[in-house]
Amino acid sequence: MSQGTAWLVTGATGQLGTELQRVLTGQDVTALGRARLDLTDEAQVRGVVSRWRDGAVARGARPVLLNAAAYTAVDAAETDEGTALRVNGQAPGWLAEELAGTGRLVHVSTDYVFAGDATAPYAVDDDPAPRTAYGRTKLAGERAVAAVGDDAVVVRTAWVYAAHGSNFVRTMLRLEAERDEVSVVDDQTGSPTSAADLAAGLVEAAQAPVRGVVHGTNAGSTTWYGFARLVFELAGADPERVRPTTTDAFPRPAPRPAWSVLDPASWVAAGLTPLPAWQESVRACVAALRG
Closest to 45 (Cα-Cα) out of 99, 124, 115: 99
**Which residues, 6+ apart, have CB-to-CB distance to 42 below 8 Å?**
90, 91, 94
pLDDT at 1: 41
Mapped onto helix, strand or coil, the DSSP state of residue 196 is: helix
Each residue's pLDDT, cut to its tens digit, for the chain (291 residues) gives 445 999 999 999 999 999 999 999 999 999 999 999 999 999 999 999 999 999 999 999 999 999 999 999 999 999 999 999 999 999 999 999 999 999 999 999 999 999 999 999 999 999 999 999 999 999 999 999 999 988 999 999 999 999 999 999 999 999 999 999 999 999 999 999 999 999 999 999 999 999 999 999 999 999 999 999 999 999 999 999 999 999 999 999 999 999 999 999 999 999 999 999 999 999 999 999 998
CB atoms < 10 A from the CB of 101, how many? 8
List domains and CATH numbers for the chain.
5-161+192-219+261-276 (3.40.50.720)
**Helix 278-289 × helix 224-234 angle, to 10°:** 50
pLDDT at 150: 83
Q: Radius of gyration (Cα) for the chain, nearest Å? A: 19
CB 63 within 8 A of CB 42: no
Identify whether 134 is a catalytic site residue: yes
Q: Which residue of the set 71, 112, 122, 134 is catalytic?
A: 134
